[in-house]
Every structure is written in structure tokens, then in C-alpha cells.
Amino acid sequence: MSPVPWLRAQGLPIPTDPDVTAIAGAIAVVVLAFSVGWWIGQRAGPRLTALVHRWAGRAEGDAYRSGVAIVGMFLAALALLLSLPFFTASPLALVLVAVALGVAVARLAYALVRLAGLGSGYAWLIAAVVFVVAAAGSLGGLQPLLATLDRASVTVGTRRVSLLGVVNAVVVIAVLFAIARLANRVLTHSIGRLTRLDVSQRALVQKLAGIAVIVVAALIGIDLLGIDLTALAVFSGALGLAVGFGLQKTVGNLLSGLILLMDRSVKPGDVIVVGETFGQVTKIGVRAVSVVTRDGKEHLIPNEQLMVEPVENWSYSSRNVRIHIPVGIAYSSDLPLAQKLMIEAATAAERVLKSPAPTVWLRGFGDSSVDHDILAWIKDPEAGVGNVQSDILNRLWLLFQEHGIEIPYPQSDVHIRSLPSSDGRVLEQGS
């Protein structure tokens, strides 16, 4: 079947004898619009990209190409839209300009969605819908298309569900999702630049702003889609009870995370110990706190666990932390000299603070050695404590070797109470 009768049935007047002059003019207008838009986009696009980076942080995808496309396609679409009235007398020329306008607007929508940080599949879907709407609207054929979509419907109970309603819902949800994500990105980046707030306060405000954006987007979507919430009143009690039980832990973790941010007992950047996990807090999320250990392993600890279990915060009121390094020396060693060498080894370590100065405690007299503790202060516990201990002990080993300080092996005394004689008799000790 030829496409011409179908296009005419959709309301597009396709002539039998095309106007070659008008078609050539339309092609020239399309080429000129895209060329001028591309030329200006190459110069103004980077400025738009820099502005987006300033207000929304680093954008995902190829931000430079997105900025160039936004400026170029916007100007091309504007020029093509203004030229439409000049080609109404020639239907084929009008179709060429309308299709070019649809391509420009679709490319503009794709670039905007990608610059907002959404995936390419999502961007292609939005671009396809925008192309159809823009091209059909320019040709005056949008109404037949809408009527066709509305006729494709099914009746569920007393409610009529049409393909037009489904498409409308998908478009509204997609647009609101893109706007909400972009708004959340802008708010998060803008709040992060507020130097008057500390890290935990900025994280709290960012979290509350993100929740507010989601709530506002949901309310706007309900209003645009015309969803009648009173129809769900019968199920609201049972649904609320089921959701309450099902999301009890989720809501508890959310509230625990907000409380942690408000009382600032645990905040991003702190070095904490929870159970056997030791590391630096990198993020307090909706469900869990992210703790990165010195091995590069990221532990996700539920927010509630930090509320109910003991937590060691090594940087709660001060980032200065004192570490203990046990050292044992032989009983025959020069005790004052050994203690002096311990202080010298600790002081020479790069990360050990000069004030408070390292000290040495005599901890006790062991079975094989005189036991000491080297006490040294550091101000960057997030960089680890094992490497400081290794540095000090390596220096101390060389100093002990140089000055003849002995590190003893484990020793024990054996007392023999009886010995067997050559004739088999047992001789008591001292016989």
C-alpha cells in the first residue's frame, strides 16, 4: 500500500504535483538553520556546560557535546518554527520543515535529558515522543493522532483506559522524574557550596531538600494525571498497616539517619569503630552509613545499628588520637637508654605529633621481658594507625641493634624433682 493515501487520511494534504521551488527553499532553510545553530553552539555551548557544572556539579555523559547540542538545536528549532508559515502553500515543503523541526526538538530533548544525568535509553524514549509530537503538531496532524490513540481503549470495571491515557501518564511521569532529578542535583550542589554550614548540617539539608523535591513531584504528578485518591480510601487502612510492617526497618533507618545528621554524633569524614569495622564515614544514606576501611573495603552499616550499638568515634570532638605500641626488652638491658630510644623512634615518625610529645610508660614486669607502652599522638586517624606503628617499630629495631638493647625470647625455668638411676631406682633430687 502506498503511504500517500494513508498520510492524506491522517490529515496531511499531499499534492500530486510538488512545488519544486518551495521544496528547494525548504531544504535551504533547513540546511541554513542547522548550520547557523551548529556554528553558534560551538561557541556558546562550552559556556552553558560551565554554568551547569557550577550550579549542578559535574554532569554525567559527554557534557561538552550536550551543551553544544542544546544551544545549536534550540536556535535551529526556533528558526524552523518561525519559517513554517512561509511554506503552508506547499505541503511537501511544509513536511520537510516539520520533520526537520521534529529532529531539532528531539535532539534538544535528548541533550537536556543527558545533561540532567539520565541514561541514554531514557533519553532516546523522550526524544522519540518529542519528535512525534513536534512533527505532527507542526503539520496539524496531532489531533488525528490523538484521536486514534484515544480510540484504542479497554474498559476495566467502570473505568476506561485508553492508549492516549497511558502515553500521557508515561510522558508526565518521565518529565517529572527528569525535572525532579535535575532539581535535586542543583539543590544538592548548591547546598554543598554553603561554607557557613558544616559537613553534617549540609548533608542534613541536602537530605531534607531531596525528600521535599520527591514529595512535590509526586503531588504535581497526581494532580496532572487526575488520580482520585478518594477511590483508595477503602484500602488505605489495610494498605497503611501492610506498608507499616513491611517498611518498618526502612523507615527506622531513614529516621535514624536524620537523627545522626541532626545530633552530629556521626558525620561524613569521621573515623569510627563499630563492632569489628574500623574506617572513615564517607556517606550517610537513606538506609545505611558507608564506612571505607584502610583495605579499601566499603562497609554498609544500617543507620539503626549506629543508634543502638556502641560506636567509637575517633574524631567526634577532636581529630587527635593517641595510639599504644607495646614493646618488651630484656631484663639485662639499660632501661633508661631503652626508654630514650623508644621516644626517639616515635618522635622521628612523620605522622606523630610533636605536641603532645610521645611518651613511654613502664607497663609491668613480664615473664621474659620488661613491658613498655609507647604512646604517640596523630591527627589523621583516617590514614590508618598500623602504618604508624610499623614505622616506629622499624626505627626502634635499628636503634636497639645499634645500642645493644636486647628484645628477649620467651624464657621458662624447668625444675627436675626426680631422676631415674641406672638400676631402675628413682633418685630424689639432691641424693
Give tens-digit pLDDT for 199-254. 666 777 777 788 888 888 888 887 777 766 665 555 556 556 665 666 677 777 77
**Which pLDDT belongs to residue 307?**
83
Q: Which residue has the cell 553552539?
A: 41
3 confidence band (pLDDT: 50, 70, 90):
low
262: number of Cβ within 10 Å: 11
pLDDT: which is higher, 54 or 337: 337
Question: Cell numbers of 422, please?
Answer: 641406672
Is the pTM value of this prediction over 0.75?
no
Distance of alpha carbon 377 from alpha carbon 358, whole angstroms: 7
Distance of alpha carbon 249 from alpha carbon 202, whole angstroms: 25
**Which pLDDT belongs to residue 316?**
78
Per-residue pLDDT tens over the stretch 170-212: 777 877 887 787 788 777 777 777 766 666 667 777 777 888 8
pLDDT: which is higher, 173 or 155: 173
Question: For 390, what's the count of Cα atoms within 13 Å in the CB-facing half-sphere?
Answer: 4
Q: Parallel, antiparallel, or unpaired: how do β-strands 321-329 and 418-420 relate?
A: unpaired
**Which range among 20-29, 271-280, 353-362 shows the weakest confidence by mean pLDDT?**
20-29
**Which pLDDT belongs to residue 245?**
63
Domains of the chain plus CATH, in order, are: 3-149 (no CATH), 239-317 (2.30.30.60), 321-403 (3.30.70.100)
High-pLDDT (> 70) share of the chain, %: 73
**Which range among 114-123, 243-252, 416-425 shows the weakest confidence by mean pLDDT?**
416-425
Beta strands in 270-320 (DSSP E): 271-274, 277-284, 288-292, 298-302, 312-313
**Which range among 211-215, 218-222, 259-263, 309-313 shows the weakest confidence by mean pLDDT?**
259-263
Question: Cell numbers of 44, please?
Answer: 556558546
Q: Which residue has the cell 535529558?
A: 113
**Which pLDDT belongs to residue 393?**
93
Beta strands in 366-420 (DSSP E): 370-378, 418-420
Distance of alpha carbon 245 from alpha carbon 86, whole angstroms: 64
100 confidence band (pLDDT: 50, 70, 90):
confident
C-alpha dist (Å) from residue 412 to 43, 88, 91, 334: 84, 108, 107, 22
CA angle 273, 278, 280 (to 5 degrees): 95
For residue 356, cis peptide bond before it (omega within 30 degrees of 0): yes
Beta strands in 91-243 (DSSP E): 153-156, 159-162
The alpha-helical segments, DSSP class H, found in 140-162 are 142-151
Which contiguous run of DSSP H or E holds residue 137?
helix 120-139
Whether residue 373 is predicted with pLDDT greater than 90 in this model: the reply is yes
| Mean pLDDT, residues 333-346 | 91
| Mean pLDDT, residues 157-163 | 68
394 confidence band (pLDDT: 50, 70, 90):
very high
**Which pLDDT belongs to residue 431?**
44
| Mean pLDDT, residues 393-412 | 86
Sign of CA dihedral 267, 272, 274, 276: positive
Whether residue 146 is predicted with pLDDT greater than 90 in this model: the reply is no
Per-residue pLDDT tens over the stretch 74-95: 888 888 878 877 777 777 777 7
High-pLDDT (> 90) share of the chain, %: 10
pLDDT: which is higher, 124 or 8: 124
What mean pLDDT is reported for the chain?
76
Asked whether the beta carbons of 264 and 306 are under 8 A apart, the reply is: no
Query: Dihedral, CA atoms, 209, 212, 214, 219, nearest 10 degrees?
Result: -160
Angle between helix 335-348 and 386-403 (nearest 10): 140
